[in-house]
Amino acid sequence: MSRLIIDLIARATWETTIMVACSGLLAVLGGLPLALLMVAMRRGGLMPCPPAARLLGLVVDILRAIPFIILLVILIPVTRMIVGTSLGTAAAIVPLSLAAIPYFARIAEVSLRAVDPNLVDAVHAMGGTRWMIVRHVLIPEALPGLVAGFTVTLITLTGASAMAGAVGAGGLGDLAIRYGYQRFNTQVMSLVVLVLIVFVAIIQAAGNALSNHLRHD
């Protein structure tokens, strides 16, 4: 195997790591507050406002309904505005994040909803404010589930980043398409797939370990 191919794969792996890590981080920063809002505004929530909760849910569902490949294209002008270009790793982070935010929001919502409402009541009765309930009850109690959900999000992002590679984002997907598919280079294709398998396996194992470490029930 040539030195060139190894270099290519190493660089592509790094690019994929950056894309997945950055958009994953943004997915949490955007998705978790969205999930908290959806849970808090439900009937009987911390600040009930069912119409707003339904509206938010609708927006999230619309974003999730758009196929990622279409989202990539629609967002090109937005990406140009934010990053200055629609090509490359940095540019791919914009559509990836926008797809991951509603995805993670829905997953986080499920975990937050599973928190025993009696615990919320207990801290309420203790004289806790809404913010204290979020900080001391909802997030810590849902944390093992949130971590498991984040793991799933990262793996989904890995798959999506390969798709982003198709429109010039770089990374392992880009490599597989240009060298493996378009140049019929089976060796590169197999290697890229192998790297992706290891990549996903590592994320899943780390996520499981962290989630179990945080779970005390």
* Contacts with other proteins, residue ranges (CB under 8 A): 116, 118-119, 121-129, 132, 136-137, 140-141, 143, 214, 216-217
Kindly tell me which of 61 and 116 has the beta carbon lying closer to other proteins.
116
Kindly tell me which of 143 and 177 has the beta carbon lying closer to other proteins.
143
**Smallest gap, in angstroms, from Cβ of residue 209 to other proteins?**
17
Q: Judge whether 138 and 121 are in contact, CB under 8 Å.
A: no
Q: Judge whether 171 and 92 are in contact, CB under 8 Å.
A: yes
Q: What is the number of alpha carbons within 13 Å of residue 186 lying toward its C-beta?
A: 0
**Smallest gap, in angstroms, from Cβ of residue 117 to other proteins?**
10
Kindly tell me which of 7 and 116 has the beta carbon lying closer to other proteins.
116
Kindly tell me which of 109 and 141 has the beta carbon lying closer to other proteins.
141
Element holding 164 (H helix, E strand): helix 139-165
**Smallest gap, in angstroms, from Cβ of residue 205 to other proteins?**
23
**Smallest gap, in angstroms, from Cβ of residue 143 to other proteins?**
6
In degrees and rounded to multiples of 5, residue 15 shows phi and psi of -65, -45
**Smallest gap, in angstroms, from Cβ of residue 111 to other proteins?**
12
User: In whole angstroms, how far apart are CA 145 and each of 10, 50, 141, 211?
Assistant: 32, 24, 9, 7
Q: How far apart are CA 156 and CA 196, in angstroms?
A: 12
Q: How far apart are CA 175 and CA 170, in angstroms?
A: 7
Kindly tell me which of 33 and 128 has the beta carbon lying closer to other proteins.
128
